[in-house]
Amino acid sequence: MPPNGELPVLPMTAVDEITYRTPDALFNGSAIVSVIQSCIPSIRNAWSMPSADIDAVLVAIRIASFGHGMDMTTMCPKCQHSEDITVDLRQVNDKIQPGDYNKQLAMGNLEFYFRPLSYTEINQNNQTQFEQSQALRMMSDDTVEETAKLEQLKKSMQVINGLTIKTVAQSISAIKTPDALVSEQPYILEFLNNCDSKLFSQIKDHVIALKQSTELKPLDLKCSECQNEYAQPFTLDMSSFFENAS
């Protein structure tokens, strides 16, 4: 971290633009890591970055590379009028919040401490989720036997349920008991696998709320045709987010 506490952000190079256009590199996360480390040299290992910082970093790189204006098309949900607008990414970045991960969750005689997932963990979990969604597509294939479909469904549900528990466990940095402070992931995962459903649901809801507090906020727009005010979701689709507006 520089002495002034601010990370310098450089525009993307020609190599960076080629990198993020590579489908395989986008899918496995290496393109994002490569571009971040190239444009923000102070971040030496983007794989270990807190996931809560990823959106802010990518928006900053987009601003440094192509300017703060970003063109997009929006449609009014009331009158279906479509229009092109220019989003000020500086305002988008100003609304990004890191999440209050210093807040503990007290449950009986236990206290839970939380942390944002690293980009590595987010990327690995997303790949597992994608693989299972692909596997579930076979359910609509008429050429596949019903027995095989049921077996795949059972297997996928087990993986998805396990992934949910694993993600919650990764979001817990430590559990404080009356006698000890447990921070080892295998023990935290074991605790979640064996705790009652009510306790797990409360922990999961807290983790979800923390994650939602760090996500990009919708854009507040007003239709030029019918004057209807509505919220437009704004997401970072990496295949198009870094397209040069020029």
CB 52 within 8 A of CB 99: yes
Question: DSSP class of residue 118?
Answer: B
The answer as to whether 6 is a domain residue is no
* pLDDT for 154: 86
88 strand-pairing partners = 69
Q: Which domain holds residue 222?
A: 14-96+216-241
Task: Find all residues with CB under 8 Å of 87, minimum gap 6, and list them.
Answer: 69, 70, 71, 72, 219, 234
For residues 115 and 202, membership in a common domain is answered with yes
Helix residue ranges per DSSP H, the chain: 14-20, 23-27, 30-39, 51-66, 89-94, 119-136, 146-170, 185-194, 197-214, 238-241
What is the full DSSP assignment across 23-59?
HHHHHSSHHHHHHHHHH-TT-S-GGGSBHHHHHHHHH
Q: How far apart are the first and last CA of the chain?
A: 33
Q: Which two tokens stand for residue 76?
A: 């009014």
The answer as to whether 3 is a domain residue is no
- Overall number of domains in the chain: 2
Three-state DSSP class for residue 189: helix
For residues 111 and 202, membership in a common domain is answered with yes
Three-state DSSP class for residue 175: strand
Give residue 62's Cα distance to chain centre: 17
The answer as to whether 4 is a domain residue is no
For residues 111 and 165, membership in a common domain is answered with yes
The answer as to whether 7 is a domain residue is no
* pLDDT for 246: 43
* pLDDT for 27: 78
For residues 149 and 125, membership in a common domain is answered with yes
* pLDDT for 60: 93
**pLDDT tens series, the chain, 246 aa:** 888 888 999 999 999 888 888 878 777 889 899 999 999 999 999 999 998 899 899 999 999 999 999 888 999 999 999 999 999 999 888 888 888 898 899 999 999 999 999 999 999 998 898 888 877 777 776 777 778 778 888 888 899 999 999 999 999 999 999 999 999 999 999 999 999 999 999 999 999 999 888 888 888 999 999 999 999 988 776 655 665 544
CB 110 within 8 A of CB 192: no
